[in-house]
Structure 1
Amino acid sequence: MEHANKDRSLVSKVMDGLVSGIVEEKYGAILPPQDVLSKEFDVSRTVMREALSMLLARDMLDVRPKIGTRIRPMSDWRMIDEDVVNWRFRAKPDPMFLRDVIEFRILIEPRASAQAAARGSAADVAAIREAFEAFRVIPPGEPGYQEADELFHTRIVIASGNQFFKQMAAIIRGALSTVTPIVHDRSGVWEGAIASHQRVVEAIERRDPKEAELASLAMIDYSAEEVGGRFSAEPPARV
């Protein structure tokens, strides 16, 4: 059992190292042969083979005869997988990726906020307020700021009671880890973020689904405008 746990730990470490190399464009389009990678990571070929198979299962790699192991475009990666989500958000963001991130949030978070207002338990609502109070007292860049923001949004998704929305929490956390540092390093933005978050909390506490949805949408729009301004990319259009 101990040996098996050690092998699983090694596989995880190798996967993490391979992904770091991929997102840092260390390998180019084709990975080196397995024996070369095994020497690079100082592991057996069995461990390397299992690590590669895990990335294959996540649609990150593609094995082709006479070509080798090709790295697939990040847009093909299986984003519903939490590991893949975390890895994808390590890469340097580009305008199209940021657009997709914001569009995803527009689809999920406003509706989750409305459902949290309509059917979240008293404990759920109290947890959202608690996360907001932690968020509002930590300035951007200070330890715990990012975690507090992510916890706030995650608790809203959980309070929605929708099992599919809960599965999306990892993507929302990843989205925030990418967008928040871009948005909140500008003067005056933090105060606006606090106000927009507070509007969502208060609507949920009043059990007002419509206002909660509108407040959440306004909160995301606020981020979209800031991101668009920084990257010269138009904020995603809404119907």
Structure 2
Amino acid sequence: MELGNKERSLVSKVMDGLISGIVEERYGAILPPQDVLSKEFDVSRTVMREALSMLLARHMLDVRPKIGTRIRPMRDWRMIDEDVVSWRFRAKPDKNFLRDVIEFRALIEPAACALAAERASTADLTGIREAYETLRQTSPGEAGCESADTLLHTRILAASGNQFYQQMAAIIRGALTLVGPILSQREDGWINVVNAHGSVVDAIERRAPEDARAAAMAMIELTADELHSALSPEVVEPR
């Protein structure tokens, strides 16, 4: 059932009210049942159900059988809409977009790698190494290559322990999906990128934050250079 303008406005107001209640900790860990919330906000069950679904989509809530609607920890809330990110990366890349992708990675990944070198648990390090070894043993176009690449970066961001960096994983994954096929067209381009990843992983395992930062920056600069060569000097502006 499609909501009209009035109902959509009510949904927005209910969402705002629910979020206020959540951040002010008025509800505790579990939200009241939908019927109770509908009466509290004086709206129909349809409006309340839509408002709750919007919060569910943003990873703010979690519905569990026999428990109810649980409020998730704030660190889990989706601050970056992964669907929108994915849709944007489907479009043919242009000069400015490729430049922006490189600049974004240069801003986020070196800092995240440095933090991962400081904060990664033993399990984090094992996961990072496993993802890298899978990446090293595959080639572009082979099953699992792209997923290993994105998994490696995602695990490093997770190991940083910073919830904002962790949620940047959606953009980083989109960037890797974009540049991977381009780099694979270059002779030795992919192996150079894999070796650069290895330097990052080694530094993280050695618990060397500044080495990890430098290795990550070198990895991103290599990617930029490869894009320059693979496409044309006009596609990606100098760093």
Q: TM-score, normalised by structure 1?
A: 0.65
Per-residue CA deviation, residues 154-213 of structure 1 (Å, 9 max, x unaligned), is: 110000000000111000000100011111221111221121011001000000000000
Listed as ranges, the matches of 1:59-138 within 5 Å are: 80-138=80-138
State whether residues 95 and 231 of structure 1, in contact with CA within 8 Å, keep that contact through their aligned partners in structure 2. Answer: no
Q: Which residue of 2 aligns with 1:153?
A: 153
**CA separation in 1, counterparts of 2:163 and 2:186?**
35
Which 4+ stretches in 1 moved above 4 angstroms?
none
Give unpaired runs (5+ residues) of structure 2: 3-49, 55-78
**CA separation in 1, counterparts of 2:94 and 2:199?**
30
Give the direction of change, closer, same or farther, for the CA distance of 1:118–1:82 in structure 2 (3 Å limit): same
RMSD (CA atoms): 1.9
Q: Which residue of 2 aligns with 1:163?
A: 163
- Percent identical among aligned pairs is 57
**CA separation in 2, counterparts of 1:187 and 1:122?**
36
Bigger Cα displacement from structure 2, 102-111 vs 187-196 = 187-196
Q: Which residue of 2 aligns with 1:39?
A: none
Per-residue CA deviation, residues 115-157 of structure 1 (Å, 9 max, x unaligned), is: 0001111111111000000000011111111111011111100
Question: Residue 226 in 1 paired to residue 223 in 2?
Answer: no
Q: Which residue of 1 aligns with 2:192?
A: 192
Q: Secondary structure at the match of 1:93?
A: coil
TM-aligned CA deviation for residue 236 of structure 1: 4.5
Q: How many residues align?
A: 163
Give unpaired runs (5+ residues) of structure 1: 8-49, 55-78
TM-aligned CA deviation for residue 224 of structure 1: 0.5
Q: Which residue of 2 aligns with 1:144?
A: 144
State whether residues 103 and 236 of structure 1, in contact with CA within 8 Å, keep that contact through their aligned partners in structure 2. Answer: no
Aligned AA for 2:149?
Answer: D
State whether residues 98 and 236 of structure 2, in contact with CA within 8 Å, keep that contact through their aligned partners in structure 1. Answer: no
Aligned AA for 2:135?
Answer: F
Q: TM-score, normalised by structure 2?
A: 0.65
**CA separation in 2, counterparts of 1:80 and 1:163?**
11
Q: Which residue of 2 aligns with 1:203?
A: 203
Quick check: which has more Rg, 1 or 2? 2
State whether residues 186 and 226 of structure 2, in contact with CA within 8 Å, keep that contact through their aligned partners in structure 1. Answer: no
Give the direction of change, closer, same or farther, for the CA distance of 1:84–1:118 in structure 2 (3 Å limit): same
